[in-house]
Structure 1
């Protein structure tokens, strides 16, 4: 994570996403622009939540880990998205892990400033309420997706969510199995099927996307986003 000292760039994001309508003037004086590299963690499950982050550029991946060490993907997000909203409202630790899928720009504000200057500011509270209720709806949709849809559809959706262009080396097979909630053996069978159909290629444990349109047709609605 790197702090970006560029008032002009910060102001551009504020105006682009109309955040001047959400934050008070006092809060706007305490927000900071941060950059995260691809693969870098924005927050980890169980860590103390001290910041509210707003995604203003790039794509992030949200996943959770079970006590048994299993990893389950919840969603991929693009702007405008908020990280740490529920944690701020409930004063709890981060409940999920969030990772940058691409280079990411985040606006961050410490909880202490939110409590001091925004705890009774109606536009901010309405914004958080809208974001939180939307997340509960999407979480229910994601859980149903992992239960009801076959691995073929989940893998296609996952590959579409993390790839940015055709012929991009996008993920390790082991990570994909964990994140979409299936066994390594089952995923290998589906990967072999996809390779035979010309959708992807396997390269030293990694997956190379070859036919994005074919994956889109298979996935239908891209549930992970």
Structure 2
């Protein structure tokens, strides 16, 4: 993680996403840009939550881990998205793990400063309310997806989600096979079943397994199978 103190870059992101109005003048000097490389953890489940972030560039993955150590993917997010909002309002530890899928840029500010300087600023409060209510709606859809759709659909959606960014451009056309155990956990299936589905995808010409990687060969075929990026 790298903190970037650049007022011009900050202003450009605020303007690009039309969110200048949600922050008042008092909090502006305390906003920073934070950069996370692909694969870096932004937040870890169970750890103290100190910052609220606004995703302004890149893609993140959100997943949860049970007490038994099982993980389950909840969603992928692209701008604009808020991270740490529920923790900020409820004053609780981090609920889910958030990981950078691509190179990620976020606007960040400490919870303590937000409470001190924006707690009575209605545009910010309305923005947070809108974001949180949308998350509850999407969480319901996500849980239904994991319960109701077959592994083939979930894997197709996962592969699409981890290999393209918000502009539909490829930042990686492959998935390392060393991470397949994690992939199986994240989409809620067994490693053995996941391998069976991958072999079928290879037979169907959707992907190719080679040299420690799974390469996407037919993106449109995966999109048709996934019915769109359902994890998104």
- Normalised to the residue count of structure 2, the TM-score between the two structures is 0.94
Q: Which runs of 5+ in 2 are unaligned?
A: 165-169
C-alpha separation in 2, matches of 1:67 and 1:206: 31
**Paired residue for 2:174?**
169
Q: CA deviation at 1:108?
A: 0.3
Give the alignment partner of residue 198 of structure 2, picking from 191, 196, 206. 191
Q: Is the 8 A contact 1:43 1:98 kept in 2?
A: yes
Alignment of 1:4-23 (within 5 A): 4-23=4-23
Q: CA deviation at 1:182?
A: 0.3
C-alpha separation in 2, matches of 1:201 and 1:26: 53
C-alpha separation in 1, matches of 2:135 and 2:194: 28
Instruction: Map Cα deviations across residues 47-94 of structure 1 (whole Å, 9 max, x no partner).
Output: 100000000000000000111111100000000000000000000000
Q: Is the 8 A contact 1:173 1:205 kept in 2?
A: no
Instruction: Map Cα deviations across residues 153-179 of structure 1 (whole Å, 9 max, x no partner).
Output: 000001010112398222432121011
Alignment of 1:1-225 (within 5 A): 1-164=1-164, 165=170, 168-171=173-176, 172-225=179-232
Q: CA deviation at 1:131?
A: 0.3
Q: Give the secondary-structure state (helix, strand or coil) at the position aligned to 2:131.
A: helix
C-alpha separation in 1, matches of 2:6 and 2:60: 23
- Normalised to the residue count of structure 1, the TM-score between the two structures is 0.97
Q: Is the 8 A contact 2:102 2:171 kept in 1?
A: no
C-alpha separation in 2, matches of 1:203 and 1:148: 31
C-alpha separation in 2, matches of 1:62 and 1:40: 12
Q: CA deviation at 1:205?
A: 4.7
The 1:144–1:92 alpha-carbon spacing in structure 2 relative to 1, beyond 3 Å, is: same
C-alpha separation in 1, matches of 2:152 and 2:122: 44
Q: CA deviation at 1:221?
A: 2.9
C-alpha separation in 2, matches of 1:135 and 1:166: 26
CA RMSD in angstroms, aligned pairs only: 1.3
Q: Which runs of 5+ in 1 are unaligned?
A: none
Q: Is the 8 A contact 1:166 1:211 kept in 2?
A: no
C-alpha separation in 2, matches of 1:57 and 1:20: 16
C-alpha separation in 2, matches of 1:173 and 1:17: 35
Q: How many residues align?
A: 225
C-alpha separation in 2, matches of 1:68 and 1:158: 23
Q: Give the secondary-structure state (helix, strand or coil) at the position aligned to 1:99.
A: strand
Q: CA deviation at 1:148?
A: 0.4
